[in-house]
Structure 1
Amino acid sequence: MNRSLLVTGANGFVGKHLVALEAAGGMSDWRLQTTSAGFDLLSPDSIDAALQAGVPDAVIHLAGQTFVPEAFRDPARTLQVNLIGTLNLLQALKNRGFSGTFLYVSSGDVYGQVGELDLPIAETLAPHPRNPYAVSKVSAELLCQQWSYAEPWRIIVARPFNHIGAGQGESFVIPSMARQIIRVRRGLQPALLDVGDVDVTRDFLDVRDVIQAYLVLLEQGRNGEVYNVCSGVEQRVRDLITQMASLAGVEVELVQDATRLRRAEQRRVVGSSDKLQKETGWKPGISITETLQGVLSDWAAREL
């Protein structure tokens, strides 16, 4: 029988892709463990109730408060959900006798402001979180690492950088631009795109490649270790928007919207996944063009 895998946040962007991958027969080694109802990370009783169906062989912990502007608006709740919620999950698993592999999904955002001499960003670079979301993630990382020393589990931390794909909410830049481009193509808005600061660079990875990295880390990741999950390719956001417009067959003009500008903006981001690749053999397999086309197709299939 395939090993059971509990995925918290299964209704989120990455979680839905994991569910779809299993439905398509792409997870031959794992069987997703479903719960009769969703659980609240801030309610130990609800987590325990969700585990009554059985103790999983492994956990991918995706659930959390992930939106940076919301973290600035309500830092206390962000810390509660991402740090205390993780502690509640760990304790519930321990109480149920869990002894498998626990993958904590953190974020490349924990590195904070990084000088150009430190690019590409490797795991040896100390975190310097610059927003409450990143503080909550690095705090939960440390909690997981402490548990990796104290418990007979394998606990691994993944730090994904920007990941994109079909189904991502429009609060993120690439799906937001894709939605506007499809609206332009349909004649629903002028050929003007409201943008934030699009002359920054980011390290974008297809969500399907991210999931493959998580699955390989469940098999080969070392206990207590941290792994970057990224493409290793620096992409200027403006160039990706222009490429999407070209793929959609429209010409657009970019207009900066002050409400879309973020605080503590990092100008350039590119990560190194050398550690992940060397230890597991994982490599990105999906081109940025294929990813962007998938995002456009997703929005083209929607009512806008």
Structure 2
Amino acid sequence: MQKTVLITGSSGFVGRFIQQQWSNIVLWPRSVDLTNRSLVQSKVQELLKEHRFTAVLHLAAQSNPRLSFTKVVETWNTNVMGTLHLTGALEECGWDGRFLFTSTGEVYGEKKGEIDESTEVQPLSPYVSSKCAAEQVVRDFDFRTAAEAMVVRSFNHSGPGQRNIYFLPSMASQIAGLPPSGGTIEVGNLNVHKNFLHVEDVVRAYAALLESGRGGETYNLGARQSRSLNDILQVMAEMSGKDVEYRRHPERFREESPEPVSVCTDKLERDTGWKREKSLESLLGDLLRYWNRQVTAK
């Protein structure tokens, strides 16, 4: 990444990975609450004067769908008002750089088959509704200013360093903790189909969009073909060389549609030249190696 990029939400999984990969980055201070309009205005002015950043990657969000049902106001304040305050402060400074807002593939709800950017959104949680609203804030920002602002709808992604509250690192950490002969791990609903990208491919896509994405556009980012969680877990177990058995745990079980989804990334590939480089098997191997190291280090 050649541009100087201001990054919000840099303490999250993707943000931490970017800090290892990109140079010329400016980190939004965690102490400056994006829901506080006056603080955001003064901090944007300060950072622009000091660093003259020409791009913004807006990762900061309340991104837990379940939590959003009990924290509706907090979710909307962070995701919508935070985005509005940030874009408003940039507008007041006359900033004309490139802005990328990270939304979610969950905006499509339970739609199945091939999903492209024209597929109707179907928000099923306050979290997703807030992301849809924030997307419109970004489109308005692009329309009324000289900045080039874009939305990327990211589907599932993982990699080393992601917390094991998520499916892939949870499975990898449990398998890594088994003895060499194998054993039993706890699972949820394995009939669900998911699309997983390696975090390295996701970060490359963000960089490509900040370089050559088109202002005002929305882009899908995900694996083209989904796989059932059962198939994915079988591949991971085989890669580990252990005899792994599953025990369904009620707290891990979620009622979700098992139908497969295909994420169309034609627009992203056409506008930026981005291509997926890391296979699912590469992702699973990286996760197993990471969690094997974590277990050994204990």
Q: TM-score, normalised by structure 2?
A: 0.91
Name 1:21's counterpart in structure 2: 21
Question: What is the CA-CA distance between 1:144 and the residue it aligns to?
Answer: 0.8
Report matched runs for 1:147-296 at 5 Å. Answer: 147-185=141-179, 191-262=183-254, 265=257, 267-296=259-288
Question: What is the CA-CA distance between 1:34 and the residue it aligns to?
Answer: 3.5
Q: Which of 62, 68, 72 is residue 65 of structure 1 equivalent to?
A: 62
- What 5-or-longer segments of structure 2 have no aligned partner? none
For residues 36-90 of structure 1, the C-alpha deviation after alignment (integer angstroms, 9 at most, x for no partner) is: 6643221234434543132420001011011222122322211111111111111
For residues 100-131 of structure 1, the C-alpha deviation after alignment (integer angstroms, 9 at most, x for no partner) is: 0110000100001114xxx2111110101111
Q: Secondary structure at the match of 2:286?
A: helix
Structure 2 distance, partners of 1:106, 1:274, is 18
Equivalent pair of 1:18/1:211 in contact (CA under 8 Å): yes
Structure 2 distance, partners of 1:215, 1:282, is 10
In structure 2, relative to structure 1, the CA distance for the partners of 1:256 and 1:157 (3 Å cut) is same
Name 1:33's counterpart in structure 2: 26
Structure 2 distance, partners of 1:162, 1:269, is 12
Structure 1 distance, partners of 2:11, 2:30, is 12
- What 5-or-longer segments of structure 1 have no aligned partner? none
Equivalent pair of 1:38/1:50 in contact (CA under 8 Å): no
Question: What is the CA-CA distance between 1:265 and the residue it aligns to?
Answer: 4.9
Question: What is the CA-CA distance between 1:269 and the residue it aligns to?
Answer: 2.8
Which one-letter code corresponds to 1:64 in the other structure?
A
Question: What is the CA-CA distance between 1:300 and the residue it aligns to?
Answer: 1.9
Q: TM-score, normalised by structure 1?
A: 0.89
Q: Secondary structure at the match of 2:149?
A: strand
Q: Secondary structure at the match of 1:286?
A: coil
Name 1:113's counterpart in structure 2: 110
In structure 2, relative to structure 1, the CA distance for the partners of 1:281 and 1:130 (3 Å cut) is same
Q: Which moved more, 1:261-270 or 1:142-151?
A: 261-270
In structure 2, relative to structure 1, the CA distance for the partners of 1:49 and 1:292 (3 Å cut) is farther
Which one-letter code corresponds to 2:14 in the other structure?
V
Q: Secondary structure at the match of 1:192?
A: strand
Equivalent pair of 2:159/2:287 in contact (CA under 8 Å): yes
Structure 2 distance, partners of 1:213, 1:14, is 12
Equivalent pair of 1:113/1:266 in contact (CA under 8 Å): no
Name 2:10's counterpart in structure 1: 10
User: What's the % identity of the aligned pairs?
Assistant: 33
Report the aligned-residue RMSD: 2.1
For residues 230-251 of structure 1, the C-alpha deviation after alignment (integer angstroms, 9 at most, x for no partner) is: 1202111111112222222211
